[in-house]
Every structure is written in C-alpha cells, then in structure tokens.
C-alpha cells in the first residue's frame, strides 16, 4: 500500500482536523499563511525557453545557415569585408528574429494571464469568490453544476452531484458522487466517489468539499497532465508554412538558373554564387510566420481590452470569416436585469400554509444567497423572483418562512427539463415546490384544465416579451424511497405564474444592424418561450418579415433534409435543447457557413466546441462552457462579439498587407536580377546590396503594417470565405505584376545610368530599389483608399521606419568609409533626385492599382 494519505476513507470531521479547518472554513490570515508556505494552486506548465537559448535558436534557421556558408565561402576566397558584413547581417537578422519571437511569446503569455478562474469558498464563515490560484489546503469550496473543480476536494456534502472525470480517468460518462466515507483502501481514482479532483467538471448538482491538495500535489499534478493546452497552429500559419516551403523550392530553382546562366556566360563564379545565395536569402519570406504570430497575439490583446478574451489563437484570424452568429437571448442580447412585473396566483389561500402557495414557492424554491434585503446573489431570474417575494412579504416574514419550511432535498434546475423542485418539511409532512417554464410545469400538473389555463396565460404574457415562470406545489405525507425526478415531479397543483421583463441591451440593435451590413446573419437561440423570443427578436431587428421561428419541438419533427432546406430562413429558435444547438451548428456548417455560437451552460459545451467560434460568457457562463469555448465575453454582451469580428477582419487585412508588401518587394528583387542578364545588362546588384535591402526593408515596415488601423469599409463587406487563400482577391497578381513593374523601373534606371552616370550606376540601381520598396510600404497601407486621402500620419511607426530607412540609405551612400564597405559611391544631387523620382513613380503605380482593382463586395 502506498504511503500517500487516502482522504476518501476518513470521515469528514477527521479530514477537517487533518487539514486544520472547520465547517466555517479557515480564516483569511491562515489562508495567506498557507499560500506563502505551500505556494499557489497552479500546475507548472512547460518552462519557457530562456532568452539566450531562444536567441541561439535563431542560428538554426535555414536562411541563417545559408548565409553563414556564404560568409565562409567569401572568407576562403579572400573577400574578408564581405564575410564581416554578412556576419553582421546574420547577427542583425538573428536579433530581429529573436525580438519578434520574444514579443510573440510575451504577447501570448499576457493572454494566458488574463484567463483566470474563480472558486467559491467559505472563509471566516463567509462565502466569497476568490481566484482559484489562491485556494489552499483546508479551504471549504462550494461546487455547483458547471464549475471546474479547482483543487482536490474531499466532499463533505453532495446533492445529485455528478462529475465528468474524463480529463483525469479517461472515463467519458459523468460519475455520481456522494459524501459517504469509504472503507476500502487503495481504490483507483475512478472509484473514489467522495472525492472531487482538480481538472474535472461538475455536470450536475451541488456540493461542499474541503481542499486536501492544491497545485502539483493534486492527482492532476501527479500525473503532470496539463489540461488541454493545445496551441494549435492557426490555419493561416499552416497554409503559410506550406506555401513558404513551396516557394523556397521555386526560389532555389530560380537561383540555380541564375547561377547556371552566369556560369555559362563566363561571369565570375564566386560572385554569381554569392548573388544566387543572397537572392535566395532575400526572397524567401522567412519573417512572415513570426510577423503573423505577432499580428495575431497583438490582435488578441486588443480584443481582450474590448472584453473579448481569446482562448485559442486561431480564433483571432478566423473571426473575420464569421457569416452566422447564433446567440443566446438572456443576458447576451438582453440586460439580464430582470424585474417581476406581473404575477397571478392560481390557487386560493391554503389555511395550513403560512402564505399563498405562489409566494411560498417564490420564496423557497431557488438557490439565491440572500445576505440582506437588497443584497441578493444568484441566477438573475431567481433574484428577480426573490426580490419580488421579499417586497411583498417583508424581509422578516421571508426569513421566517425559511426556518419554518426547512429544505431537505432538491432536484436542481437543468435546461432540458426546464424546471426545478425543492422539498421542505412542514408540520404535517412535506411540501414539494416546483418552478419552471410554463410547459414544463403544465406537463406535471394533475388537472388538465389548470394546465390549459396556465399555457394560455403564459402565452399572452410571452407575446409582450415577458419571461414567464410558473410555480406548482404538492403536499405529501411521506417521502418516496428515492428523491428522483420520476418519483417527485408529478401530480402537482398549479400555484401561479409571474412575468418578468428583461429589456434588450441598448447597443445590441446597432450591433445587429452592423452585422447585417457586414453580411453576417444573427440568429437567436433561446431556451425561452417562442412568443417571448419573437417579441424580443423583433424589437432588436433579428426577427424580420419573412423570417421563420422554429421551436425545439418543431425542429425535432423535421427530417435532416427538411431542416437543411429551411435553415437559412430561420432567425429565431425557441425552447431548444442544448443538443439541438449542436444540430443547428452542424447544419449551418454543412451549408458552408462559418458559425459563431454562444453558450453558457454545461450542456452547451459540445456545440461550443463544434462551432467555428465557440463563445462563452465570462460573467454568467459556467467553467465548463468556458473550457470549451474559443472566445470568452468578459461582459456577456452580444455587441462585444461584433467588435471582435471587426478586429478579426482588421487583423486578417493587416496580415494580407504585410504579406503583400514583403512579397512584392521580394518579387521585384527576383525579377530585377533574373531579367538583367536576359536583356543584356550586367548584374545590377552586389550580394551585399541584396542583403541590405532585405534586412532594412522587410522587418520594420512589416511589423508596423501589422498595427495598421481598420479600413473604413471593414464592416461593409461580406465575410471572407473561410477557405479563401491568402493570395485571393488579386494579391498573387499584385505580387507578380507590381514586382515586375518595380523591376522594370529599376532596370530602366540601370540602362539609362550606365550611359549617363558612369560608375554611379550601381549605386543608383541599389537606391531606386531600396526607396521604391519604401514607397510600396506606404501604398499598401490601404487596399482601397489612396494614401493622400488616408493621411500620411495614420501609422506613425511605419512612417518612422520609412524615414529611418531613407536616412540609413543616405548614410551608406554619402559616408566615405561605408562607400568602401557597401561598394557604393556618392551620388550627385541630380542622380539622387532621379532615384527619388523613380521611387515616386513606383509608389504612384501601386496607388493606381487601387483604382483599377475591383472593389471587394
Ligand atoms: P437563453 O437560452 O437565451 O439564455 P433561457 O435563460 O431562457 O434563455 P434556459 O436557461 O435554458 O434558457 O432556461 C429555459 C427556461 O427554463 C426559461 O425560459 C425559464 O422558463 C426556465 N428557467 C430558467 N431558469 C430557471 C430556474 N432557475 N428555475 C426554474 N426554471 C427556470
């Protein structure tokens, strides 16, 4: 037998003693002390690569290796200056690569810091919410359906508790748990029914447990299996890597051709070799994946500032493709500030009860924590009901009811059943109180006329947009052997109904209109009554003429193909079950849509996972739904999804911009070197020039383009098809043709300057190509708007990097020492102006492509 303590075969009192706690929990001071002593309740993740290793890692890069080979070859051939310069370039490239990787990692870390979960504990006898990383041994934790268990707990109380332990044991079905002490020793994890382990999920019921282990001391810590930490490659990065690989082959082939051609023409072999290598280094866009990660991670941080917390990085880039948003109603579209505005008691006063059955049920059948008359904590529907009951009865009588009718059992609410029941002791036996959706209560009533009346009344209020809850009760002498749904929830008498308003959020109507302009259809999926759903959906512009509303029941009766035909006409789904949400997602996806779906409950997890973007609620969502989601809304607000989509589109645009910029410039370099010999010109550039252009022009402006503002039309165009390649919409052509044009202007300058400028010609060619790349950087800032209109100061980092590059270029032209190193010569003012003019021609040509390019729809 192992010497590890087994908490499951000790009685709760013994455990409390062992962990020095009590039913009132530990004190705040004890908690702080233990936290200092035992550390935070965290699993140790993969350690980060130290910075120096990350820096060294840059030297393993394929391009850097080629460059170093080139440096060695130059050295062997006696070209020591070249060797030194190449090595400096290698170093600078590695520094830039390191800074990019480091920034990307920091940005991703910052994101991780944001996603913290909380736990409800009893400390100093008071219930409080704390960061789950601050849990310590001895803390008493409250669990309820939807919670992720934050530490290893010995249960001391459990009601209908069921826990999904698949993360720990692999068992896919949730396990029923209780608080009974076990007698056996050495039970496997799955059989320890009075324990709740870190990393598992509560799918049903409520419980109280005492923390017996935290952090790496937990079972999860022992097996060191981290919770789903997949940092999947984003689809775009995956496509980019494939593309880069193919491009590498093409460029290597081109370089081989250039080398062979030079050789056949009898040119200096070393120089031709170096040119080919430099070109390969310059043309292969090795900075793109790092730039992409930075763009995505920075975008995710910007989204977090706007209350959309991205849990999975690929979501940042794919948000822009969303064509359908399926959203909950309560709390997401509405304010979740509920107030009872109507109430109707169906049953006459029962003299044996302290008050009417309706008020009794409103007061007792809920899980709201009432700390003071105005300090209520819990589900907003229930809070509204309890507030109303306290207002009617007075706080004292409300409290008195709780002592008079002690709750002895309950059948918790779930959104499939849409009702909950509680059992209370009375002087003469027991009373069962039930509350829920009108149909959910109607189906359990013994009197069918009452059921009819209930449904009619509910329908009328629902049509006004009210959320309707019904209440029923029954008195029983004895308790059934088992308190199950089957044995308890039948033969009820109707007590009454209440109507609750929950006004739509103010910003939602505008957000839905914005979606419509952006080609995104918003669909409401709610557990609420169809009439309530339709009323609210019409108010906010979701439910329009010719749109259809479908209830869960109707949906269940449709065949898959019938539903498939109708699905795009439906804008409101009411009374649907979480399983049906999954069906809706899959059907829409089958029609080629890219679906964002919101969810907050335990049962929403499968549909959140299946959706292209699963969106969980930060305030009212369960931990289970948050675990399954790609994005968490910190303010539970629908409008935040739209902001995130907007940001997603902007990020994708910016990725396209820096790809366009980097690749167009690379293409210009390849065309220039490839075409020069074909039209009878000497090799236009030296290897050192190519490396310089690559170094100074690629990295910085590319980085600056990643933070370009959103285009004015960003939410006025249809979503980008999810499978559309990065080079669609004319990007590939732009790279080829604009690159060719730049090469044409450069070669034109070469042909002319060889005649006129004598020995300066090469410096002119070098300067034209360098400056024209900067012109290109400025022009690609917008796909549609001219720079003159957009304003030159819209992206200060870009402007600064362009100016800096101009200054650097002038330095290597005019400082005599650098002339030797870079094999340049000081240009006359006229020659310099000609270079600027040539670059200006290229800038305007790129601007002109916006004019002829068809606008995106
Ligand atoms: P949405 O899906 O838009 O969030 P919802 O809150 O109405 O809407 P559910 O939480 O699945 O969805 O609730 C379904 C129905 O169950 C509600 O319309 C209401 O009639 C009933 N209901 C909700 N909360 C409770 C509760 N605490 N006790 C009893 N019945 C409830």
Give the pair of three-digit tokens for residue 427: 């002087």
Q: Indicate the DSSP class of residue 361.
A: H
Question: Quick one: pLDDT band at residue 197, thresholds 50, 70, 90?
Answer: very high
* Distances 403 to 266, 397, 398, 408, 804 between C-alpha atoms, Å: 103, 10, 9, 12, 77
Distance CA 479, CA 502 (A): 37
pLDDT at 625 over 60: yes
Q: Name the closest-CA residue to atom 6, ligand 1.
A: 330
* Sequence spans of domains, the chain: 4-46+111-227, 51-104, 236-306+647-710+724-852, 308-335+505-636, 340-501
Which pLDDT does position 225 carry in this prediction? 45
Ligand 1 atom closest to the Cα of residue 529 is 18
Q: Name the closest-CA residue to atom 2, ligand 1.
A: 526
Distance CA 292, CA 259 (A): 32
Q: Name the closest-CA residue to atom 17, ligand 1.
A: 528
328 among known catalytic residues: yes
Give the Cα-Cα-Cα angle 805, 809, 814 (nearest 5 degrees).
145
In CATH terms, 4-46+111-227 corresponds, of 1.10.150.80, 2.70.150.10, 2.40.30.130, 3.40.1080.10, to 2.70.150.10
Query: Which whole number is the average pLDDT over 616-642?
Result: 89
Residue 783 CA, ligand 1 centroid: distance in Å: 46
Residue from 337, 368, 435, 528 whose mutation best tests the ligand 1 pocket (most atoms within 8 A of CB): 528
Distance CA 457, CA 851 (A): 62
Give the pair of three-digit tokens for residue 537: 């959906």
Q: Indicate the DSSP class of residue 382.
A: H
Residue 482 CA, ligand 1 centroid: distance in Å: 26
Which pLDDT does position 251 carry in this prediction? 83
Question: Where do the DSSP E strands lie in 581-652?
Answer: 595-599, 613-617, 631-633
Q: Name the closest-CA residue to atom 4, ligand 1.
A: 330
Which pLDDT does position 782 carry in this prediction? 80
According to the per-residue pLDDT averaged within each range, which of 124-138, 337-351, 540-554, 812-826 is highest?
A: 540-554
Closest to 218 in 3D by CA, of 194, 193, 200: 200
Give the pair of three-digit tokens for residue 404: 């008079």
Query: Which whole number is the average pLDDT over 205-231?
Result: 74
> Any alpha helices (H) in 368-526, and if so which ranges?
380-393, 395-404, 438-442, 448-463, 485-488, 508-517
Residue 283 CA, ligand 1 centroid: distance in Å: 59
Please, what sign has the CA dihedral across residues 827, 830, 831, 833? positive
pLDDT digits (tens, 9 = 90+) for 406-448: 999 989 888 889 999 999 999 889 999 999 999 999 999 999 9
Task: With H, G, I as helix, E, B as strand and everything else as coil, classify residue 376.
Answer: strand
Ligand 1 atom closest to the Cα of residue 532 is 18
In CATH terms, 236-306+647-710+724-852 corresponds, of 3.40.50.850, 2.60.40.10, 1.20.140.10, 1.20.1110.10, to 1.20.1110.10
Distance CA 653, CA 665 (A): 18
Residue from 340, 415, 599 whose mutation best tests the ligand 1 pocket (most atoms within 8 A of CB): 415
Ligand 1 atom closest to the Cα of residue 527 is 12
Give the pair of three-digit tokens for residue 130: 């704390």
CB-based contact 462:526 (threshold 8 Å): no
Residue 436 CA, ligand 1 centroid: distance in Å: 8
Residue 604 CA, ligand 1 centroid: distance in Å: 13
pLDDT at 224 over 50: yes
Query: Which whole number is the average pLDDT over 488-514?
Result: 94
Residue from 146, 206, 436 whose mutation best tests the ligand 1 pocket (most atoms within 8 A of CB): 436
Q: CB within 6 Å of ligand 1 — which residues?
A: 328-330, 379, 381-382, 413, 415, 418-420, 435-437, 469, 526-528
Q: pTM of this prediction?
A: 0.81
Which pLDDT does position 549 carry in this prediction? 96
Distance CA 460, CA 531 (A): 8
CB-based contact 435:441 (threshold 8 Å): yes
CB-based contact 232:316 (threshold 8 Å): no
| Same fold across 4-46+111-227 and 308-335+505-636 | no
Residue 369 CA, ligand 1 centroid: distance in Å: 19
pLDDT at 3 over 50: no
Task: With H, G, I as helix, E, B as strand and everything else as coil, classify residue 843.
Answer: helix
CB-based contact 424:407 (threshold 8 Å): yes
Beta strand pairing call for 570-574 and 613-617: unpaired
CATH number for the region 340-501 comes to: 3.40.1110.10
Which pLDDT does position 349 carry in this prediction? 65
Which pLDDT does position 114 carry in this prediction? 59
Q: Name the closest-CA residue to atom 5, ligand 1.
A: 527
Conformation bin of residue 592: beta by default, left when phi > 0, alpha when psi is -120 to 50: left
Question: Quick one: pLDDT band at residue 77, thresholds 50, 70, 90?
Answer: confident
Which pLDDT does position 587 carry in this prediction? 96
Question: Quick one: pLDDT band at residue 510, thresholds 50, 70, 90?
Answer: very high
Residue from 364, 412, 466, 469 whose mutation best tests the ligand 1 pocket (most atoms within 8 A of CB): 469
Residue 565 CA, ligand 1 centroid: distance in Å: 29
Q: Name the closest-CA residue to atom 7, ligand 1.
A: 528
Residue 415 CA, ligand 1 centroid: distance in Å: 6
- Count CB neighbours of 154 within 10 A: 26
Residue 355 CA, ligand 1 centroid: distance in Å: 26
Which pLDDT does position 84 carry in this prediction? 85
Question: Quick one: pLDDT band at residue 113, thresholds 50, 70, 90?
Answer: low
For the packed helices 761-779 and 687-705, what is the interaxial angle rounded to 10 degrees? 10
Closest to 849 in 3D by CA, of 736, 751, 771: 736
Residue from 327, 368, 381 whose mutation best tests the ligand 1 pocket (most atoms within 8 A of CB): 381
Instruction: Exactly one of 328, 414, 600, 636 is catalytic; name it.
Output: 328
Question: Quick one: pLDDT band at residue 687, thresholds 50, 70, 90?
Answer: confident
- Among 524-538, 713-727, 729-743, the minimum mean pLDDT is found in 713-727
Phi, psi dihedral angles at 673 (to 5 degrees): -75, -35
Q: Name the closest-CA residue to atom 19, ligand 1.
A: 437
Task: With H, G, I as helix, E, B as strand and everything else as coil, classify residue 844.
Answer: helix
Question: Quick one: pLDDT band at residue 605, thresholds 50, 70, 90?
Answer: confident
Question: Where do the DSSP E strands lie in 606-662?
Answer: 613-617, 631-633
Ligand 1 atom closest to the Cα of residue 438 is 20
Phi, psi dihedral angles at 585 (to 5 degrees): -55, -50
Residue 416 CA, ligand 1 centroid: distance in Å: 9
Give the pair of three-digit tokens for residue 422: 């509680």
Conformation bin of residue 544: beta by default, left when phi > 0, alpha when psi is -120 to 50: beta
Domain 308-335+505-636 of CATH type 3.30.70.270 = no
CB-based contact 248:284 (threshold 8 Å): yes
Which pLDDT does position 797 carry in this prediction? 86
* Distances 158 to 195, 206, 417 between C-alpha atoms, Å: 10, 6, 21
CB-based contact 769:741 (threshold 8 Å): no
Residue from 384, 437, 597, 598 whose mutation best tests the ligand 1 pocket (most atoms within 8 A of CB): 437
Question: Quick one: pLDDT band at residue 856, thresholds 50, 70, 90?
Answer: very low
Which pLDDT does position 639 carry in this prediction? 94
- Among 201-205, 510-514, 768-772, the minimum mean pLDDT is found in 201-205
Residue 528 CA, ligand 1 centroid: distance in Å: 6
Residue 70 CA, ligand 1 centroid: distance in Å: 69
């Amino acid at each position: 037998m192992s010497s590890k303590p087994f908490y499951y075969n000790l009685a709760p009192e013994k455990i409390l003693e062992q962990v020095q706690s009590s039913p009132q929990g530990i004190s705040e001071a004890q908690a702080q002390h233990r936290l200092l002593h035992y550390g935070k309740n965290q699993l140790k993740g993969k350690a980060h690569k130290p910075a120096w290793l990350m820096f060294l890692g840059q030297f393993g890069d394929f391009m850097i290796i080629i460059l170093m080979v080139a440096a060695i070859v130059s050295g062997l051939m006696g070209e020591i200056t070249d060797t030194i310069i190449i090595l400096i370039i290698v170093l600078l490239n590695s520094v830039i690569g390191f800074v990019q990787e480091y920034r990307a990692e920091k940005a991703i870390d910052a994101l991780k810091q944001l996603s913290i979960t909380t736990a409800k504990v009893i400390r100093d006898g008071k219930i409080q919410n704390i960061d789950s990383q601050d849990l310590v041994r001895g803390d008493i934790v409250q669990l309820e359906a939807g919670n992720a268990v934050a530490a290893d707990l010995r249960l001391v109380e459990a009601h209908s508790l069921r826990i999904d332990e698949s993360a720990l044991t692999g068992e896919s079905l949730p396990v029923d748990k209780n608080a009974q002490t076990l007698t056996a020793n050495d039970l496997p994890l799955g059989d320890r029914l009075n324990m709740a382990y870190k990393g598992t999920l509560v799918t049903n019921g409520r419980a109280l447990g005492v923390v017996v282990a935290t952090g790496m001391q937990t079972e999860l810590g022992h097996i060191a299996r981290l919770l789903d930490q997949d940092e999947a490659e984003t689809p775009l990065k995956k496509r980019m890597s494939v593309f880069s690989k193919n491009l590498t082959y093409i460029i290597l082939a081109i370089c081989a051709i250039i080398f062979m051609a030079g050789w056949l023409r009898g040119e200096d072999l070393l120089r031709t070799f170096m040119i080919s290598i430099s070109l390969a280094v310059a043309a292969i866009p090795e900075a793109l994946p790092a730039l992409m990660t930075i763009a995505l991670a920075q975008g995710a941080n910007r989204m977090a500032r706007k209350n959309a917390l991205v849990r999975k990085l690929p979501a940042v880039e794919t948000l822009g493709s969303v064509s359908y948003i399926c959203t909950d109603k309560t709390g997401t579209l509405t304010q979740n500030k509920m107030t009872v505005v109507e109430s109707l008691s169906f049953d006459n006063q029962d003299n044996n009860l302290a008050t009417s059955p309706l008020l009794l049920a409103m007061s007792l059948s809920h899980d709201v924590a009432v700390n003071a008359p105005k300090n209520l904590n819990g589900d907003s529907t229930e809070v509204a009901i309890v507030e109303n009951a306290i207002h009617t009865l007075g706080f004292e009588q409300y409290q008195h009811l709780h002592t008079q009718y002690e709750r002895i059992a309950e059948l918790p609410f779930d959104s499939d059943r849409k009702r909950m029941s509680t059992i209370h002791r009375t002087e003469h036996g027991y009373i069962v109180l039930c509350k829920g959706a009108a149909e959910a209560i109607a189906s359990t009533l013994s009197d069918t006329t009452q059921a009819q009346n209930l449904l009619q009344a509910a329908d009328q209020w629902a049509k006004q947009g009210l959320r309707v809850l019904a209440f029923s009760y029954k008195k029983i002498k004895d308790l059934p052997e088992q308190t199950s749904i089957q044995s308890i929830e039948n033969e009820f008498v109707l007590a009454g109904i209440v109507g609750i308003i929950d006004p739509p959020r103010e910003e939602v109507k505008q957000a839905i209109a914005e979606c419509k302009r952006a080609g995104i259809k918003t669909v409401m999926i709610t557990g609420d009554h169809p009439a309530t759903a339709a009323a609210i959906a019409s108010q906010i512009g979701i439910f329009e003429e010719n749109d259809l509303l479908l209830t869960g029941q109707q949906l269940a009766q449709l065949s898959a193909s019938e539903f498939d035909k109708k699905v795009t006409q439906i804008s409101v789904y009411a009374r649907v079950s979480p399983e049906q949400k999954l069906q809706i997602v899959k059907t829409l996806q089958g029609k080629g849509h890219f679906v964002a779906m919101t969810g907050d409950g335990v049962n929403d997890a499968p549909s959140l996972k299946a959706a292209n973007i699963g969106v969980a609620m930060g305030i009212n969502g369960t931990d289970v739904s948050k675990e399954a989601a790609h994005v968490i809304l910190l303010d539970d607000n629908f409008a935040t999804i739209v902001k995130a989509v907007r940001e997603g589109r902007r990020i994708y645009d910016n990725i396209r911009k820096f790809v366009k910029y980097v690749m167009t410039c690379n293409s210009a370099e390849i065309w220039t070197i490839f075409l020069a010999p074909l039209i009878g010109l000497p090799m236009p550039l030296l290897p050192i020039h190519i490396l310089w252009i690559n170094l100074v022009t690629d990295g910085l402006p590319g980085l600056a383009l990643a933070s370009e503002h959103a285009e004015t039309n960003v939410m006025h165009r249809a979503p980008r098809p999810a499978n559309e390649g990065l080079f669609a919409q004319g990007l590939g052509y732009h790279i080829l043709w604009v690159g060719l044009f730049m090469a044409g202007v450069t070669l034109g300058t070469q042909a002319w300057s060889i005649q006129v400028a004598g020995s300066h010609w090469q410096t002119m060619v070098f300067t034209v190509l360098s400056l024209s790349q900067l012109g290109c950087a400025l022009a690609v800032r917008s796909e549609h708007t001219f720079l003159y209109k957009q304003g030159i100061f819209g992206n200060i980092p870009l402007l600064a990097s362009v100016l800096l590059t101009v200054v650097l270029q002038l330095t290597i032209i005019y400082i005599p020492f650098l002339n030797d190193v870079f094999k340049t010569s000081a240009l006359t003012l006229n020659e310099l102006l000609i270079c600027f003019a040539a670059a200006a021609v290229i800038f305007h040509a790129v601007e002109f492509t916006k004019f002829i390019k068809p606008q995106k729809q």
